[in-house]
Structure 1
Amino acid sequence: MSEAREDSATAVSLRGDDDGRVERALHTNGFSLADEAEAAFVVAVGERALVETARERPERPILPVDVDGRHAVSRANVDAAFGGLVESDRRTVEHPLLSVTVDGDRVADAVFDVMLVTSEPARISEYAVRVGGDPLDAFRADGVVVATPLGSSGYARAAGGPIVTPGAGVGVVPVSPFSTHSDAWVVDDPVSLSVERDEGAVSLVVDGDRTTAVDPHVPVTIEPTDSVRLLSPPARE
């Protein structure tokens, strides 16, 4: 391997709120910091850095640090993880980006999850879910969340949803449903959410950020239209 190839293989772009541990671990394991165009991969520290980086659709794979989920490294384990990232061990997984539109107008891309949720605590509304244009269910609840595989281990999991494996689709989970017997689903077609009856203002929340209010019967469509590559942590971590 030439010196130029070695330099390229060990150059890393670092983004996010690092307290110094991640950068030190990179240097300890022979990596150097570089601009993204010259880097072998991007290290995104924290959920906000991962969301911003993924939405830019980088050509390089992303290694999430200090983010919930299987495809992430904890800040406490960065030394072991970086030590295992020799060039031959760099496996990647495709992660979907969800396009979110309200009444046909695109408002955001989602990396983790999309929620319709009442703006006031403990206010129940009625939500309808359609998949691929066909009705799936309707229920009274505080809200409903659609989660990517990466986001399925976060808020959706806390609401009672399943862990979704990469490539399986997205999870659809009612949030605090009024009924004691409610379902959650994993679907692989575009999802449409709507408020059938509201008892208070309902907000659209994308990756933790409130984006807009949603009126009754206005469709919110969520579908994977793109993807980014995540760098899987070494199995021995």
Structure 2
Amino acid sequence: MGTLVGVVGDDALGDALRDAGEAVERGSDGAVPETDQVVAVGEDAVAAVARADGDPLVLPVAAGRGVRSVPRDDAVAAVSGLADTRIETHPVLRVTLPDGTVEQAFWDVTLVTADAARISEFTIASTADRIGRFRADGVVIATAAGSPGYAHRVGGPILAPSDQAVVAPIAPFATDPDHWVLPVAGLSASVERDEATVELLIDDRVSRTISYQESVTISLGTPVRTAVVGESQSRFE
């Protein structure tokens, strides 16, 4: 057998890799194996690996366009090719909440009103400037990996891997809203009106509510190294 490979998100794939002669350690109860290589199946699995301690080489499988993902049917062949791989590096966002708690996001961070047809007002700022203030249902701050997802559906561009983020208002009151591509480190988002309940979502998981005049700040965490093999798909097709 070769190098021990962790598998997160698909026990059946772990069995298939064992049948192909790979040494496999499967995650359990949401735990990420402490192996040098991890196969992460699906977007949730990739995000779970990003939040965990350690610095494994991650092979994304069936994980969408945000990373150069391998189709599920090609995963066994892709693992056998990990010895001859190119590496892409993706940032992880460290999100500091108003109470000082820190959470991590791989895809995106979203502030959004909890009730339909309610809007609030938001400010986006960097350490040097106030970038914009607008009324909207919310705002999404997406990494390059997250940029093909919800941020793109609300009008943001798709980014190549970098330490920049797409910032896009959600259903803005303005008819011609701005979208921004900004360095991740030092970004903040705050709520400027006490008119609606605003929820903070970290990679689509509801974290907590953000009150009037509260803000979240973003810095860079430990990046994720993803493997690019012959079976990896383009992020732009």
Give the TM-score, by structure 1 length. 0.85
Matched residue, 2:154: 159
1 CA distance for matches of 2:53 and 2:39?
14
Quote the offset at 1:34 in angstroms: 3.8
Q: Is the 8 A contact 1:29 1:82 kept in 2?
A: no
Residue in 1 that maps onto 2:9: 16
The CA deviation at 1:206 is 0.4
Consecutive unaligned residues in structure 2, runs of 5 or more: 27-32
Q: Cα deviation per residue 1:208-229 (whole Å; 9 max; x = unaligned)?
A: 1111111111121012132121
In structure 1, the gaps of 5 or more residues are 1-5
Counterpart in 2 of 1:217?
213
Matches of 1:59 and 1:70, distance apart in 2: 17
- Determine if the alignment matches structure 1 residue 81 to structure 2 residue 72: no
Change (3 A) 1:104 1:132: farther
Partner of 2:68: 71
AA at the equivalent of 1:71: R
What amino acid maps onto 2:22 in structure 1? F
Mapped partners of 1:62, 1:222: distance in 2: 24
Superposed, which structure 2 residues align to 1:202-213 within 5 Å?
A: 202-213=198-209
Per-residue deviation at 1:32?
2.9
> AA paired with 2:49?
T
In structure 2, the CA distance between the partners of 1:109 and 1:127, relative to structure 1 (3 Å rule), is same
Q: Distance in 1 between matches of 2:220 and 2:130?
A: 19
For 2:46, the aligned partner's letter is L
Q: Distance in 2 between matches of 1:172 and 1:97?
A: 16
Match of 1:232 in 2: 228
Q: Which 4+ runs in 1 deviate beyond 6 A? A: none
Counterpart of 1:3 in structure 2 is none
How far the C-alpha of 1:102 sits from its partner, in A, is 2.0
Equivalent residue number for residue 115 of structure 1: 110
Residue 22 of structure 2: which of 25, 31, 37 is its match? Answer: 31
1:171 paired with 2:162, answer no
Contact 1:22 1:78 in 2 (8 A): no
The two structures, once aligned, show a CA RMSD in angstroms of 2.2
Q: 1:182 aligns with which of 177, 180, 189?
A: 177
- The residue matched to 1:197 in structure 2 has which SS? coil
Amino acid at match of 1:66: A
Q: Does 1:49 align with 2:45?
A: yes
Note the 1:120-159 alignment, pairs <5 A.
Answer: 120-159=115-154
Amino acid at match of 1:128: T
What is the aligned residue count?
225
Q: Secondary structure at the match of 2:160?
A: coil
Amino acid in structure 1 at the alignment position of 2:8: R
Q: 2:196: which partner in 1?
A: 200
Identity percentage over the alignment? 38
Displacement of 1:236 in angstroms is: 6.8
What TM-score, normalized to structure 2? 0.85
How far did 1:86 drift?
Answer: 4.8
Matched-pair contact (CA < 8 Å) for 1:116–1:143 = yes
CA contact 2:71–2:231 (8 Å) conserved in 1: no
- Deviation, structure 1 residue 197: 1.2
